Each structure stands twice: as C-alpha cells, then as structure tokens.
Structure 1
Amino acid sequence: MDMNQYLSMFIDESNDHLQSLNENMMGLEANPEDLSIVQVIFRSAHTLKGMAATMGFEDLASLTHQMENVLDLVRNNKLRMQDFIFDTLFKSLDALESMVQDITGGGEGKADVSAIVADLQAIVRGEVPAAGGASTGSAPAASGQAETPIHLDEFQFSVLEQSIQEGHKVMFVEVAIREDCQLKAVRSYMVFDLLERSGEVVKSFPSVQDIEQAKFDHSFSLYYITQKDASEIQAMILNLSEIDKVTAIALDQESLHQLGQDTAAATAEAAAAASEVAVAVETPVAPAATSTPAPRAAAKEEGAKSPAAGRTGGTPSRTIRVDIERLDVLMNLFSELLIDRVRLEQLASEMQSGDLTETVEHMSRVSADLQNIVMKLRMVPVDTVFNRFPRMIRDLAKSLDKKVDLVITGAETEMDRTVIDEIGDPLVHLLRNAVDHGIESVADRIAAGKPETGTVNLRAFHSGNHVFIEIEEDGRGIIPENVLKSAVKKGILTQEEAASKTDEEAYQMLFAPGFSTAEVISDVSGRGVGLDVVKAKITALGGNVTIYSTPGKGTNFSVQLPLTLSIIAAMMIKLGSEKYAIPLSSIVETGIIKQTQIRTIHGNKMLEFRGSHIPLVSLSRIFSIPDYDESTEEETEIVVVRKGERLVALAVQDFIGQNEIVIKNLGKYLPEIQGISGATILGDGQVALIIDPNAFIK
C-alpha cells in the first residue's frame, strides 16, 4: 500500500493527538488522582502508536509504546503519578513532537530516544530514573508491578467462543526462549510456523511485527485454536532448539467467559468508537481464518476515540480539514460572482424586466448569505494558538523556579486563519517575557506581600472590526525612568528627548530596535529583548501593540489585530479617474480643509489637527494622477490615518463610500509598489488599488 497518500492525514491527526496529550497531561498534573484523565491519555497515546506503526515510523511507535506501558500501570492503580514521572512523560512528548516535525519537513521521523526509553522502562520496573537513562531507588506502586496482559476484542472473543462450541480446543500458550539465544526472532518464527501447521493463532503479545523485529524480552504469549491436546502442543514446541519453557493451558467456556469479563470494559470502548476517523489509519484486526497472528492494533483500546476532538461518546466527527489554498480559490471565485451580480443588476435595470429584476434581487440575497459563509469558513478560534501555551508556561516556570498560573479567557474568539498562522510567535515571546521578566521569584513576591504564585492572564475579545489579545501579569511592573535611562545610555535618545517623554512614550521605547540589540541593564528587568521583532510582526499584520504598566503591580501588553486579512472594510475614494481603497482600521476621521489651513514647515506641508501639527500628503502627486491636483481647489477632502501614536492626513478628491472588499495580491510579476498593499475588484469590474497607510507614516 502506498502510504504517501495518507501522510497529510497522519501529520494532522498526530498533531491533534500530541496537543491532546499535552493538555490532558497538564490536567493530570493538577489532579494526579483522576484516573479518567489517564484513560484519555492512554487512548490517545495508543491511537498515535497505531498510526505511527501503520505508516512505518518505528521510532515514534516504539517510544509511544513505552509511554503506554507506564500509563497502563497508572490507570490500573499499580503506579502513582509523581513529579519525575510527569517530567519523563513530558520529555517523551517533546521527542514525539520533534519526530512529527521531522516527518512534516520530509524526514523519516528518526530520533535517538534511547535515554527516554530507558527512563520509561525504569519507571515500569518501579525504579526512579536518573540522568542519562540510569535508574535508582524504586517508584511507589499501589499494588506491585503488573504484567501486560493480552486483551481480546469482541470479534476475537467470539471466534474463540464459537470454536469451543464447535468442538475445537482453545488454549493460552506462553513460550520462553533461552536467555543466551542469539536469534530469538528466528526461534519465534519457528514456533509460529509449527503452530500454524496444526491450528490457528488468534492473538499474540507482543505483536507479530515486534516479534519479527526481536522487540520482546525472550518470551511471548498467544491464544491458539487446534484439535491437539495441550500436552501435545507443549511437547511439539519444546522439541525446537533453544526453547526454555512452554506453558499451554486449555480453556473452556467458563474460563473464557471469565476472561471476557476482564476485557468487557475495553470491548465497550472499542465498539462505541468504531467509526472514529482517528483509527482509519491503524492496522485492521486480522480475522481468525488467516494464518498470521492479529497485530497489536487489535488490543483493548482499538478504536478508541481521539480525545483531541473533545467528545466523550464516540460520535462520528462533524468536521473536515480543508487546505487554506482551496479557501483562497473559493474567495477568488466568489469575488468574480460579485462582479457578475452587479452587471446583472445593471442589465435588469436597463431592460425594465420585472421577472429578471426579481430573480436578480433573489440572487443578491443569496450571494450576501454566501459571502457571510465564505468569510466564516476562514475564521478559526484563537484556541488553536492558545492551546500550546499552558505547557510552555509550565516548563518555563519550572526552569526559573517560579510559581505561575496561566489563566486563558476568550479562547473561542475567532480570527482569520492567515492572522492566526502569523500571531503565534509574537505571543510566545510576550508570554516568555511576562514570566521571565515580569513575574518575580517566590521570595520577592512574598517580600512584596504578594501571593507566591504569580498570575498571567491571556485574554482575547472582539471589538468592532478588530480582535484584541491581552497578556497581563501581576509582576513587578515597568519603571519608565529606568527605560529612559537605558535608552539614553544606548544612544537611542538624547537627555533632552528623554526628559520630554511621557510614561506611555517611555514604554514604547521598549520596541525600539536599538533598545533590544544591546544588553539591557538589570534595573529594566530585561524588558525589550526582541520586542522590536514582536512589534514589526504585529505591524505587518495591520495591528498595533500598546503597553500599560503600574510599577509594583504588573504590566499589560495589548495587541490589536484585524479580524481578517482577506476581507476588510474600506473607505473608497476617488482621485481623478482612478479609485482607491483605504482600510477603515487605519482611519481616525475624515474631513474637509481649506487651502488657507495648510502650513509649510521646513518644506513639508503640515496641518493643524486637534492641538498638534500633522503631515499632509498629496496622493495625487505620489501616484502621479494626471487629471487631478488638489492645490487648484479651495477646499480639499482629507483622511487622517494612524499607525501607533503617529498620524498623517491624506488629501483626496472625493469619498465614494464604505465597502467590504476582497484583498487580492498584486502578483509576483509586479514590483513592490510603495504605498500600495494590494488591489480589489469592484462591483463594476474596475480594479481599485488598496492604500497602505503605514507606508506614508514611515
């Protein structure tokens, strides 16, 4: 089978399971006695193992299998979760994520995980793992150590039961190979070959794949259907060389049903989730009629649902994955439909046809609904970004020996997928900055009369056509004077400039490039390191970031972002025979000025605006509009736009009105045009360029 066609599905599903594992591990760390969480973690790990084995990623499957062994002891009350177990499992998740990332990049998912595997195996043995995979001491267990049993699914159980009813002999066989055997996989093959001449192997543990690759500890067990007696089977196997011990136990209806009771819960789980998409790439259960033992994927957790889907009943998934490029194509086709709709409206008006007019009006209503659906298709909750932060904060706080609670609100807030994809890294940096430099150490917090556990609030909410994401902590806060002193020391500001800065302007200095490239003195708490990159990324997305801080109380970084980068609200303007669009998110206000209000300062046109002077930019001159010059008119319309705290007035000829426009890229064949961020197709088929206000303010 060509597995390449399933690779994309495997990567998506694996990332979902890894995210679920991280989230549930965090939940288990907060409630170590909650075995229901352990069950969810076990099922997710089992499904991931089956997927990886099916796709041929053996290292990934092997590591997940070792995690399974630990989790199996925990969920059966034979091992208590402790800090060192959590740390080892989190290291395992990090390794799994690295392997999946390698697969995503075209690699084979290989990794040296021998040290982590040794730690997991030590935990299973009841030992405390030490550095480098060694182990010392013992891990407290609830009731001794456990052997991993063979779990039968409903189909396998019914096959064994029917075989007994039809007069066949069903037995449980355990085979131990000598410790000094150099080719244990070959000896195992000889056992299976011998057994299959006289009957059928229904289930084995370990799996056939593991046995063939010698991934077992000199012993294996299986369920077997035959006409021979147990003593005959035992003697046959012992006749093979290098076989140390054989145990064959005949099963009757009573003993088989007792076995069924032990695995009833697992059978119910499998039946309830048989239709789950997550198991589509797992190895299917081999029927009893075949001559090959059933693979490990048929164990009791076979078919368990994906916890990442957030469902508890095994209900089939109601969602599908769609490539973002397909949504872009859909958006482009829809914009063409809008053009045709406007043209039809014009034709209906010219022809004075009642039927045609009525049909076009209905089409307009339907297309309006379609536009709403198309926009919503690209919207995804910010939870897709937020969900990786709790684990990050947990690890960072642990490494800094701090106590930090991350409180997330508004995770259901939706944004355009293109914005979501770009905002992750800036938020990571702001959160790390909050924990590393904002939250004090436990001793400092106690000395300041604060709770020893610091709180970082991560909030998201809608406001108009924007989404606000706030990162607020109750740490030491920022002292404006220290920021300004550091800026003067680095040569970013003169002493006179620093003296005239307000607190808000001082906070904005943290985003200055020069401020972040040099070493920051300790009394500024390290703030500013890399924040210029954060500001640049947010600005490139059409957003803005503002800092609010109270010394001794904490700091708030407020990030303002557009809802979408594909459809925006814009003010349509006219310059001569050409039309342009200005994003509403950048507009402060519009107005009309007289030529007498324009001042020339150092050769630049300036305009008094609300108590200060701002630059006046002539768009007709910048874009070389041949049939319009605002200097010949007594009055000129202006649009005041903002970038951060800076304002500029753009001179225009006329306002056309406000429209929802679809942004189209200018294409790779056109050079980058200063002041233009893209284009849109208007209802009448004309192309209007979209003005980039940030370029004029720069």
Structure 2
Amino acid sequence: MNTDQYIDIFLDESREHLQAINDNLLELEKDPKNLSIVNDIFRSAHTLKGMSATMGFEDIAALTHKMENVLDQIRNEERSATTAIVDIIFASVEALEVVVSDISNGGDGKKDVTALVSAIEGIEKGQDAVDEQVTQDHTSNSFEFDDYQLEVISQAKGQGYLALSIMVKLRDDCILKGPRAYMVMEKLESLGEVIQTMPSVEEIEDGNFDQAFSVVFVTKVSEKDVQATIENVSEIELVSISEISNVNSVTTEEAIKIEEAPSSSSQSVPSEEKQSQKSKTIRVNLDRIDTLLNLFEEVVIDRSRLQDIANKLNNQDLVSVVENMSRVTLDMQELMLSMRMLPVEQVFNRFPRMIRGLARDLGKEITLKISGKETELDRIVIEEISDPLVHLIRNSVDHGIEIPGVREEVGKSPIGTVELRAYHSGNHVFIEIEDDGAGINREKVGRKAIEKGLLQEEQAKRMTDEEIYQFIFASGFSTADVVSDISGRGVGLDVVKNKIQSLGGSIIVQSEQGKGSKFSIELPLTLSILSALLVQVQRETYAIPLSSIVETVSLSKDDLMFVHGQSVMDFRGKVIPILSLSDIFQVPVESLGTNQNYNVVVVQKGDKLTGLLVDELIGKKEVVLKSLGNFIKDVFGISGATILGDGNVALIVDPNALIQD
C-alpha cells in the first residue's frame, strides 16, 4: 500500500499524540495515583503505535509497544508510576520526537531504539512477579474494560466489525508456550485488532500462563475463518470463540459520558446541545492558505481598478456594487489572514519538560508558570521565535534561579519560579520570561562593557539600568564566572537579539539584583500584513514598516550637516546619520526638484536611530508582504514586496539592515 498520501496527516497526528503524552506525564508525576491520566497516556501511545505500524515505521511501533506494556501494568495497578518509569517514558517521547522530525524532513524514520526498549524491559523485569492467584484470575474469561476499550468495541460493532472473545488452550505437552502464543497473536493481528488480553501481552509472549489465555478481538473476518487461522498454529488443543454482545452492560452513550463529563451537572446537557459543542475543524495544508491569500491579492487589485472605472463612469449602480464588493473583500482578507495565525501554545508546550530536565541536572527546584498560551501569532513568527525563547529560558534556569540552599539563606522559597507569559497589545504581541532569581549585576555588566571597550566609565555612570543591561546582547559578551554546557549569561544572546530584530521585534531587559529578571519581547502580530508608510523616491514607491518608524521630519537644507563625509542631522539633541534611499537602491535621478526641504523618516533599531531621506511622503497603508522569490533573494535593505491598489509593485524596506550597529 502506498502511504505517501497520508504522511502529512500521520505527522500532524503524531505530534499531537506526543504532545499529549508529554503533558500528561507532567501531570502524572504530580499525581502518580491518578489512573485516568495513565489511561490518557495509554490511548495516545496505542494510537501512535497503530498509525506508525500502518505507515511502516517499525521503530516507532516497537518503542510505543513497550511503552504500552508498562502503562498497561500501571493502569491495572500491577505497579506504580515511579520516577524511573516516568523518566524512561520521557526519554522515549524525546526519541520519538526525533524520529517524527526526521520523517518530516524526508528521512526514513529509522532510529536505533534498542537501548530504550531494553531499559523499559529492565524496569519491567525488576519488579516482583505477579502472584499465582492473579495469574489464575487472568486466565478466566471475565474481562473488565476501561472507557477507551468500551468505546472502541462499541464503535467497531457499529461499523460492521465482530467483537469476539477468544480462548486459546495449548496442549499439555507444549514446551515452548511463549513462541506458540506469539504466533497466535501474530495471526490475530493480521486479521484485526487485539483490544485486551488475559494475562497481559508481555506475560503471554513470555509464556507466563498455565496452558490457556484469552483475547478480546475485533475483526471483519468471520468466526469460522478466525478459528481456522488460529488452529493452523501447531500444538493448539482448543479454540473457543464467542461474540461479545453485551459489554459489561455499558452502552456507548454511557461510555462516552463517563469519559467526557467533568461533573455531574454536565450529564444532563441535552443531546442537541452536545452536538453543537463538537469541534468542527479540518486539517488544511498551510501552503494552500498562502496560495489562497496570493490569489486573493489579484482580486484586491481588480477591485481597485473597478473602483477607478466606476468613478470615471459615474454610474451609481456600479459604484454601489463596487462599494459592497469592497466591504466583503475586506472581511475576506481579514479572515484569510487570521487563518495564518497560530497560538503560541505550540512553542510553549515544549518548555515544561525542558525545565524539568534542566532543574534535575542542576540540582534546583523550579516551577514553571505559563499564561496566555492562546495568544496568536503569525505562523512565520511562531516558527522563528522558538530558539530565542529556549536560550532565554535556559539562561534563567542556569544563571537566574539559585540552588535551594542559597535561596533559603536569603529568605526565599527553595523552589524558584520562572514565568512565561504572552499577551496582545495593539498590533503587537509581547512575550515575557520572568524569574525570581538572583537578577543581573549592573556593576558587573558595566565593568565588563568597559573592559571590552563598549563604553567609557563616565558614560556608564549616566546610563540607566535598562541601557546597561542591553550590553549583555553584545557579541561574545558574558559575565558568567563559569560557562556551563547549558548556558552562559550573555553567550549567544546577540543571536537572540538579532533573530528577534529580524522579525521586526525588540527585546527589553528589566532586573533587580537579588529579586529576579524579566526579558520582554515585542513582536509584530503578523508578518504577512504590515502597517507601512508609503514613500516616493524619484518615480519609485517604497514601503517602510511603521513598527520601525519613530517620526517623520521636514528638514531644511541648512540643517543638513556632514561629519567625516557622512550626512547627519540633529534629532532632539542627538546627532544621527542620514541615508538616502535613492543612493542605497541606486534609483536613477530624473529631477533634482525645487523643494528647499528634505523629507526624512527616522527609523529605530534598538537604541540606534537613522534618518532615511526620501522625496515624498505618500501616506499610511496596510500592505501584504510578498517574497521576492528564489531568483531575487538576499537583496540588501529589502525584506519583500507588495502589490498596490493600482497594480504597481512597491518594495518593502528593511530598516534593520540599513541601521549600522
């Protein structure tokens, strides 16, 4: 079977199930006796095993199968959810994430998981054997189903499958019970789905049963064919098959109600209301949304042309139709742009497990608090912001939060706190990482900056704390006494700042020594639609993002100064350089004009200001950012292009590239 057409669905669902396992493991560690959490983890692992086996990814299937065995024992209360078990399942999830990532990058999905499989088997074998009475109980034909199994059986029966209870007894002289039982299980799995076994699958395959074992099985094959298939295995004495007609007297509706109802009050919700609460979503490839948006831009261009034609003809009926079309297309455009938005939850979800591992490695106790996971950002920003956040959080954990003993000495709780929050503000999104650790030592940062020649001692005395803290983002800047393999406060933070600025954002640091630090990242809500100022340079039109603009200035020729051959201006008591867009982009000069004043757009990158000299200010406009494509890429000072209402193309200026650090 060719499974290539299903690979995208497999990857999406695999990531969802792995994230669900990850989240539930964190909850299980807090509440190890909560078997409902174990059931949730088991369901995700079971589904992942089935999908990967169908797609032919045997390493994923093998590892999830072993995870199932341990989880099955926990939910059957044969063992408890110890730290060792949680750790090995976490390690398994990490390995599975690597495999899924490899598949998404075009790999074959193969990974050596033998060490993890052996570790899981070691945990299983290290426990006490199940006593004889339990084993005897398992060999009986009385099954107890959990909610998930009830639902699977009920749905299978509703779709025309047979739900069978099968008892297989081996001959008394059968020596290799385990291999014979394994052969039976293999035959059954080729015909349908094994829902439950007594005793467990592991015990059956190890031969840890008397002479008989039982299986609950769903299939579309007839009872007669199933029996004939099993009897083809040698040393089988008896095969007893019966159809399951009443699953512990629990109906499908009751099973679903048990699983979904958070409280007794919700059980009285009418069926019509429950139906309306169901999720109505479909999976759509993001490339299709981008293609749809590109096609819609053609509609916008034609709409602008229709408006011009309607105004020229002065036909009121046509004008009315075009005005209505404008309103509808504007709503459509906003809707399609919102389809590009994704919640930051996709990035935030990776951090609880990361902090758990870092805290254990460093001997610290840390609580992560997350808020605003539902805050949405453009998918491009979501993809790019992950690594900077990882680095900032690792710094907070490594050099921000103190070890428990030190915290207690200064009157703090031994458990440190890292807060990760996101929220909207205007046309921007703020992401904040705040810790209650030792904070940043202003004097130490200042001394290091002076040593590296980044500022003078007199300047340092006049600068605010926030201005001093910005030096930790300088290339190669570090105040760490010991640079660990986890982080070094400042090492690599220049990359963090550059990445954030490349997204049109900025980062501010606030800190109080002994109290903690807060890194605030400001990002544009979307990169696909920008608020821009349209400017004219000779006959060319350019768009400058408003997020980078501080002010526009009308500058007389007498106020234009030169320092070492560089054009500069006095902007609110500060001398800033002036760059001519005509010179930068080599726009042919057709006319010098008679205007005695210059139009200057003052743009900002961090604490750096630069004036951009243009011929005319046209006005503000919402523009859609379009890539220049593979044939025209890496153009200095240009981040993309947009199509204007008259059909002309305007290049979008990248102020970050023009401002010199």
TM-score grouping bracket, smaller chain normalisation:
0.7 to 0.9
In structure 2, what is the Cα distance between the partners aligned to 1:158 and 1:590? 69
Aligned to 1:64: 64
Which range moves more in the overlay, 605-614 or 18-27?
605-614
In structure 2, what is the Cα distance between the partners aligned to 1:613 and 1:97? 52
Aligned to 1:300: none
Aligned to 2:636: 674
Q: Secondary structure at the match of 1:477?
A: coil
1:201-243 residue CA offsets vs partner (Å, 9 max, x unmatched): 9986899xx99xx99334764579989xx9xx9xx97x986x4
**Contact 1:78–1:144 (8 Å) recurs in 2:** no
**Contact 1:202–1:223 (8 Å) recurs in 2:** no
Amino acid at match of 2:77: N
Q: 1:594 aligns with which of 556, 559, 582?
A: 556
Unaligned 5+ segments in structure 1 are: 128-137, 165-169, 194-200, 274-311
Please report how far the alpha carbon of residue 509 of structure 1 lies from its aligned counterpart in structure 2 after TM superposition: 1.4
- CA distance change for structure 1 residues 22 and 453 in 2, over 3 Å: closer, same or farther? same
Aligned to 2:206: 217
Aligned to 2:271: none
Q: Secondary structure at the match of 2:627?
A: coil
In structure 2, what is the Cα distance between the partners aligned to 1:159 and 1:334? 42
1:520-570 residue CA offsets vs partner (Å, 9 max, x unmatched): 434999310111111111111111111111111111111111111111000
Please report how far the alpha carbon of residue 266 of structure 1 lies from its aligned counterpart in structure 2 after TM superposition: 8.7
| Structure 1 residues 222-371: aligned runs within 5 Å | 222=215, 243=235, 246=237, 260-261=247-248, 264=250, 269=255, 317-371=279-333
Q: 1:521 aligns with which of 481, 488, 492?
A: 481
**Contact 2:183–2:233 (8 Å) recurs in 1:** no
Residue 104 in 1 paired to residue 104 in 2? yes
In structure 2, what is the Cα distance between the partners aligned to 1:512 and 1:569? 30
- CA distance change for structure 1 residues 436 and 350 in 2, over 3 Å: closer, same or farther? same
Amino acid at match of 1:626: V
1:157-198 residue CA offsets vs partner (Å, 9 max, x unmatched): 89999999xxxxx862233797865994699479979xxxxx
In structure 2, what is the Cα distance between the partners aligned to 1:2 and 1:271? 38
Q: Secondary structure at the match of 1:513?
A: coil
Please report how far the alpha carbon of residue 117 of structure 1 lies from its aligned counterpart in structure 2 after TM superposition: 2.5
| Structure 1 residues 195-206: aligned runs within 5 Å | none
Aligned to 1:303: none
In structure 1, what is the Cα distance between the partners aligned to 2:87 and 2:498? 36
**Contact 1:567–1:661 (8 Å) recurs in 2:** yes
Which range moves more in the overlay, 530-539 or 478-487?
478-487
Which range moves more in the overlay, 496-505 or 82-91?
496-505
Aligned to 2:113: 113
Residue 174 in 1 paired to residue 134 in 2? no
Q: Secondary structure at the match of 1:107?
A: coil
In structure 1, what is the Cα distance between the partners aligned to 2:116 and 2:453? 49
Aligned to 1:32: 32
Aligned to 1:627: 590
The TM-score, its normalising length taken from structure 2, stands at 0.82
In structure 1, what is the Cα distance between the partners aligned to 2:419 and 2:581? 43
In structure 2, what is the Cα distance between the partners aligned to 1:602 and 1:162? 88
Please report how far the alpha carbon of residue 386 of structure 1 lies from its aligned counterpart in structure 2 after TM superposition: 0.9
| Structure 1 residues 51-200: aligned runs within 5 Å | 51-125=51-125, 127=127, 138=128, 153-154=153-154, 172-175=167-170, 181=176, 184=179, 188=183
Residue 688 in 1 paired to residue 629 in 2? no
In structure 2, what is the Cα distance between the partners aligned to 1:45 and 1:592? 65
Aligned to 2:528: 566
Q: CA RMSD in A?
A: 4.1
- CA distance change for structure 1 residues 183 and 29 in 2, over 3 Å: closer, same or farther? closer
In structure 2, what is the Cα distance between the partners aligned to 1:693 and 1:159? 60
Please report how far the alpha carbon of residue 473 of structure 1 lies from its aligned counterpart in structure 2 after TM superposition: 0.5
Q: 2:492 aligns with which of 513, 517, 530?
A: 530
Please report how far the alpha carbon of residue 155 of structure 1 lies from its aligned counterpart in structure 2 after TM superposition: 7.9
- CA distance change for structure 1 residues 314 and 573 in 2, over 3 Å: closer, same or farther? closer
- CA distance change for structure 1 residues 172 and 380 in 2, over 3 Å: closer, same or farther? same
- CA distance change for structure 1 residues 694 and 99 in 2, over 3 Å: closer, same or farther? closer
Please report how far the alpha carbon of residue 489 of structure 1 lies from its aligned counterpart in structure 2 after TM superposition: 4.2
Aligned to 2:444: 482
Amino acid at match of 1:645: D
Please report how far the alpha carbon of residue 685 of structure 1 lies from its aligned counterpart in structure 2 after TM superposition: 1.1
**Contact 2:180–2:233 (8 Å) recurs in 1:** no
**Contact 1:206–1:216 (8 Å) recurs in 2:** no
In structure 2, what is the Cα distance between the partners aligned to 1:652 and 1:189? 80
Q: Secondary structure at the match of 1:600?
A: strand
**Contact 2:170–2:177 (8 Å) recurs in 1:** no
1:298-338 residue CA offsets vs partner (Å, 9 max, x unmatched): xxxxxxxxxxxxxx999865222222222222222122111
Q: 1:406 aligns with which of 368, 376, 388?
A: 368
Q: Secondary structure at the match of 2:112?
A: coil
In structure 2, what is the Cα distance between the partners aligned to 1:181 and 1:474? 61
| Structure 1 residues 418-429: aligned runs within 5 Å | 418-429=380-391
Amino acid at match of 2:281: T
Please report how far the alpha carbon of residue 488 of structure 1 lies from its aligned counterpart in structure 2 after TM superposition: 4.1
Q: Secondary structure at the match of 2:626?
A: coil
- CA distance change for structure 1 residues 436 and 179 in 2, over 3 Å: closer, same or farther? farther
In structure 2, what is the Cα distance between the partners aligned to 1:476 and 1:583? 38
Amino acid at match of 2:19: Q
Q: 1:657 aligns with which of 616, 619, 623?
A: 619
| Structure 1 residues 575-614: aligned runs within 5 Å | 575-614=537-576
Unaligned 5+ segments in structure 2 are: 260-273
The TM-score, its normalising length taken from structure 1, stands at 0.78
In structure 2, what is the Cα distance between the partners aligned to 1:514 and 1:375? 39
In structure 1, what is the Cα distance between the partners aligned to 2:155 and 2:627? 56
Amino acid at match of 1:573: V
In structure 2, what is the Cα distance between the partners aligned to 1:664 and 1:112? 42
Q: Secondary structure at the match of 2:645?
A: coil
Residue 430 in 1 paired to residue 419 in 2? no
Aligned to 1:49: 49
**Contact 1:173–1:249 (8 Å) recurs in 2:** yes
Amino acid at match of 2:167: F
**Contact 2:400–2:435 (8 Å) recurs in 1:** yes
In structure 2, what is the Cα distance between the partners aligned to 1:161 and 1:319? 27
- CA distance change for structure 1 residues 375 and 187 in 2, over 3 Å: closer, same or farther? closer
Please report how far the alpha carbon of residue 115 of structure 1 lies from its aligned counterpart in structure 2 after TM superposition: 3.3
Please report how far the alpha carbon of residue 668 of structure 1 lies from its aligned counterpart in structure 2 after TM superposition: 2.7
In structure 2, what is the Cα distance between the partners aligned to 1:622 and 1:215? 76
Q: Secondary structure at the match of 1:411?
A: coil
**Contact 2:476–2:490 (8 Å) recurs in 1:** no
**Contact 1:154–1:267 (8 Å) recurs in 2:** no
Identity %: 46
Question: How many pairs were matched up?
Answer: 617
